[in-house]
Amino acid sequence: MQSSIMSSLRAEAIDAPASQIIEIIKYADGKDDITPLWAGQGVLPTPDFICDAATRSLAAGETFYTYQRGISELREAIARYHERLYGRPFDPERFFVVGSGMQAIQMAVRMVAGPGDEIVLPTPAWPNLSAAVGIASAKAVEVPMQFRPEGWHLDLDALFGACTERTKAIFINSPSNPTGWVADEAELRAILAFAREKGIWIIADEIYTRFYYGEGRDTAPSFYEIMDEDDRILFVNSFSKNWAMTGWRVGWISAPPAMGDIIENLIQYSTSGVAVFMQRAAIAALEDGEAFVAKQIEQARVGRSKLLEAFEGNNQLRFAAPKGSFYFFFGLADEPDAWPLTKQLVDEAKVGLAPGFAFGQSGCAFMRLCFATTSEQMDRAVMRLNRWLSARDAMPERVLDLEQA
């Protein structure tokens, strides 16, 4: 009977891959005292001023059906937030509240691509993007980035060369999860010019834009700084990272306002909107959250510094200092496949990392460590990794081989 169930389901549903980040978390289930840096979240719960806004809204009885695009107060608050970041006016009508950055991605993908279509993306990349493309019966075309010790590199000729008549969108995640790569303004301009010329959409994931470690500016370079209002760019974003709201599942899409009716309908027929009390919390995050965001950014800076201080010049490791986001993406110089290492690190070093192959073939030799966490947790992770690396260095290679046999 089970086989008849499976044979009567859609291939896209059956073929949806398991998240390999989840897989390592399951592997570690029940194991004690792991320092868990595999997920893209810190140890702080959502701050009280955000939770309180939700609580007040609940107490006020805001528990009824609401606007599919989001309540106007939140859409205006999102517009003001962008105005503060980019120093120019934004139309609240371009913002649509959805049930997570993931839903934003899923909707963006489905609006532009279907069976036979392709979406081109530089990798390593967050795996949920290509999975969402697959579920939409389209094909994710990976353009492997080059690892260089001075920073991951995107070959624009390779990116453009991967675009065919079937290409409906280029997905650009800058700052990048997991590599920490950040597109500079010239790269963004080149990509936008190419997309305009070819009539291709850009799906822009700038979720980590506040986590930028370059000089001379506070946020990473953004398509918002070089685009026209009606350029074919769909921005996907989330409250998860900046405001420690990973568990809330609230995000937004930013799109040409002319798409309003279409996006409203797609929200209607997917989840029918986001709870008003969640939206009140999101408003509090945007309007009163700058001090908290600053603290989050500072914490990530500290975490990054600790890692660089600990491992710069260590010949056992391969990594590039991240220019943005809050991940340290590293491998062992002598180990092209990091998946067994990820499990060893759980068992031996008691550090939980995400395996790099989850982010595409080009990530195979790497592991992702989230450094958006407390100073104490970072110190513990660095100490444990160093101890494990020293033990590994001291161990004759043939003993290692024997043990693995």
376 CB neighbour count, 10 Å cutoff: 9
Q: Does 54 bind a second copy (CB under 8 A)?
A: yes
Q: Is the dihedral of CA 189, 123, 25, 315 positive or negative?
A: negative
DSSP readout, 109-169? Answer: HHHH--TT-EEEEEES--HHHHHHHHHTT-EEEEEEPBP-TT--B--HHHHHHT--TTEEE
Q: Does 348 bind a second copy (CB under 8 A)?
A: no
Q: Does 39 bind a second copy (CB under 8 A)?
A: yes
Indicate which single residue of 24, 37, 245, 358 sits in contact with a second copy (rule: CB under 8 A).
Answer: 245
Q: Does 369 bind a second copy (CB under 8 A)?
A: no
* Bond prior to 175 in cis (omega within 30° of 0): yes
Select 106 or 179, whichever has its Cβ closest to a second copy.
106
CB of 87 to a second copy, least distance (A): 24
CA 353 to CA 347: how far, in whole Å?
A: 12
Q: Does 164 bind a second copy (CB under 8 A)?
A: no
Indicate which single residue of 55, 305, 314, 316 sits in contact with a second copy (rule: CB under 8 A).
Answer: 55
Q: Does 399 bind a second copy (CB under 8 A)?
A: no
Cα angle, residue 31 at apex, residues 42 and 125 outer, rounded to 5°: 45
Indicate which single residue of 269, 376, 404, 405 sits in contact with a second copy (rule: CB under 8 A).
Answer: 269
Q: Does 271 bind a second copy (CB under 8 A)?
A: yes
Select 146 or 272, whichever has its Cβ closest to a second copy.
272
Q: Scan residues 198-237 and list those touching a second copy (CB under 8 A).
A: 199, 201, 230, 232
Of the candidates 112, 88, 274, which has an alpha carbon nearest to the alpha carbon of residue 195?
112
Q: Does 249 bind a second copy (CB under 8 A)?
A: yes
CB of 400 to a second copy, least distance (A): 34
Bridge partner list, 142? 121
Q: Scan residues 80-139 and list those touching a second copy (CB under 8 A).
A: 99-100, 102-103, 106, 110-115, 128, 131-132, 135, 137
Q: With contact defined as beta carbons under 8 Å apart, do 112 and 169 qualify?
A: yes
CB of 281 to a second copy, least distance (A): 9
Q: Does 8 bind a second copy (CB under 8 A)?
A: yes
3-state secondary structure 78-119: HHHHHHHHHCCCCCHHHEEEECCHHHHHHHHHHHHCCCCCEE
Indicate which single residue of 29, 30, 33, 59 sits in contact with a second copy (rule: CB under 8 A).
Answer: 59
